[in-house]
Structure 1
Amino acid sequence: TTKVKIRIDKYLWAIRLFKTRTLATEACDKGKVKWNGTAVKASKNVHLGEEYEVKTEAKKWVIKVTGLLDARVQYSEAIKYY
């Protein structure tokens, strides 16, 4: 199997937590995305099984990565990846 590398900003955008990738990147830059209690950079690669705390404008999420997604898909598909 090939190991896919997906940046956290791209992943959060792909699973539709953010409307744009820019917003996802900004959230990372502002410390609103945490892994193991530590803010992560937008360039951090996502791995299966990791849990992230994500603050969006609407609410606070705790998501577990169950699938790697690097292209934005419909909501019904996106929810299968976290």
Structure 2
Amino acid sequence: MRLDKYLKVTRLIKRRTIANEACDAGRISVNGKPARASYDVKVGDVLEINLGSKPLKVKVLEVSEYATKETASTQYVVVD
């Protein structure tokens, strides 16, 4: 699944266009490297999201095309 779509489906970023723009601006990195919106997210990837004042680091546990509000947060775990 594309990175921008994964960020939207998991509700880490509210809209896909904002996720796409964040990737283009270099604010999203995967495994320590800046990633494009078209990056193919895989289980085990570590995503760093630098939006706002506090950066967020999450590890991908599951990749699913669809998620409800209740299941969206089960697809990743926050890493410190």
> What TM-score comes out, normalization by structure 1 length?
0.83
Alpha-carbon displacement from aligned partner over 1:13-46 (angstroms, at most 9, x marks no partner):
1110111100111110010111222110000000
SS where residue 53 of structure 1 aligns?
A: strand
Amino acid at match of 2:65: D
After TM superposition, which residue ranges in structure 1, 4 or more long, deviate above 6 angstroms?
Answer: none
1:50 to 45, 61, 72: 45
Q: 1:71 to 1:61 in 2, by over 3 A?
A: same
Q: Work out the number of aligned pairs and report it.
A: 76
Q: 2 CA distance for matches of 1:46 and 1:66?
A: 11
Partner of 2:27 in structure 1?
A: 32
SS where residue 71 of structure 2 aligns?
A: helix
> What TM-score comes out, normalization by structure 2 length?
0.85
Q: 1 CA distance for matches of 2:65 and 2:20?
A: 14
Q: 2 CA distance for matches of 1:67 and 1:45?
A: 13
Structure 2 counterparts to residues 2-81 of structure 1, below 5 A? 6-57=1-52, 59-74=54-69, 76-81=70-75
Amino acid at match of 1:80: T
Please tell me whether the aligned partners of residues 54 and 60 of structure 1 are also in contact (alpha carbons under 8 angstroms): yes
> Using CA pairs below 8 Å that are at least 6 residues apart, which structure has the higher relative contact order?
1
Please tell me whether the aligned partners of residues 51 and 62 of structure 1 are also in contact (alpha carbons under 8 angstroms): yes
Please tell me the root mean square deviation across aligned C-alpha atoms, in Å.
1.4
